[in-house]
Amino acid sequence: MQILDFMWNNITGSIPKEIGNITTLELLLLNGNKLTGSLPEELGNLPNLDRIQIDQNQISGSIPRSFANLNKTKHFHMNNNSISGQIPSELSRLPELVHFLLDNNNLSGYLPPEFSEMPKLLIVQLDNNHFNGSIPASYSNMSKLLKLSLRNCSLQGEIPNLSKIPYLGYLDLSSNQLNGTIPPGRFSENITTIDLSNNNLTGTIPANFSGLPHLQKLSLENKKYSN
């Protein structure tokens, strides 16, 4: 079996740990159900898994460290659940991961600095969680990243120089407790959205924001800027 697709039903109960025995499985599609319970450690035993899609359920508990063994997985779609705890830093070893979507959960702890080492990561979407600490400075080294969305994540500290990300097209750091000034570097010409609103930023608005050819949304409201 290569595909297990039970999307958009009213399935209740927990995810069976026996799924971890289907070593040929490539797509695990369980989103849009009423699944509860925690993520089985055994899912980390799926050597051919390309996509795990369990968004929009009622899954709780933490992310198993065994998921760091999913060397072929490209898509982690686990948003809109009640997943809690620390994101395991071991996930940074995943060589093929491109989408990491865990927005609208109950995650806490720190953002793993090691995520900057993931060679193919394109999208990090972690809005509406409860992290501690700051945005790691190492995230400015995410050379492939297209989207970084960390809205309403209880993040503090200064914004790292994310203008070093060459293809970044979407940046949302709104509704945190970020402070300090906006780094002066020029963002990628691909960027369409910069939302830094509802933080505690000070200083001047960088002049080079006006020269971004594809910028559609720039939101800085509720801050203490000078011209």
Task: Give the pLDDT score at 224.
Answer: 58
Task: Give the pLDDT score at 207.
Answer: 86
22 close to 1: Cβ distance less than 8 angstroms: yes
Output the tens digit of pLDDT for each of the chain's 227 residues: 999 999 999 999 999 999 999 999 999 999 999 999 999 999 999 999 999 999 999 999 999 999 999 999 999 999 999 999 999 999 999 999 999 999 999 999 999 999 999 999 999 999 999 999 999 999 999 999 999 999 999 999 999 999 999 999 999 999 999 999 999 889 999 999 999 999 999 988 888 888 899 999 999 987 555 55
Classify 146 as helix, strand or coil: coil
Phi, psi of 31 (to 5 degrees): -70, 155
Please give the full DSSP string across 31-49, using - where no structure is assigned.
Answer: -SS---SPPPGGGGG-TT-
Task: Give the pLDDT score at 226.
Answer: 52
Enter the tokens of residue 151.
Answer: 């809205």
Matching residue, tokens 């700051």 = 134
Enter the tokens of residue 190.
Answer: 């691909």
Task: Give the pLDDT score at 50.
Answer: 98
Identify the bridge partners of residue 83 per DSSP, sorted by sequence position.
61
Q: Where exactly are the structural domains of the chain?
A: 3-226
| Top CATH class, 3-226 | alpha beta
Enter the tokens of residue 193.
Answer: 């959205």
Task: Give the pLDDT score at 210.
Answer: 86
Pairing status of strand 27-29 against strand 51-53: parallel
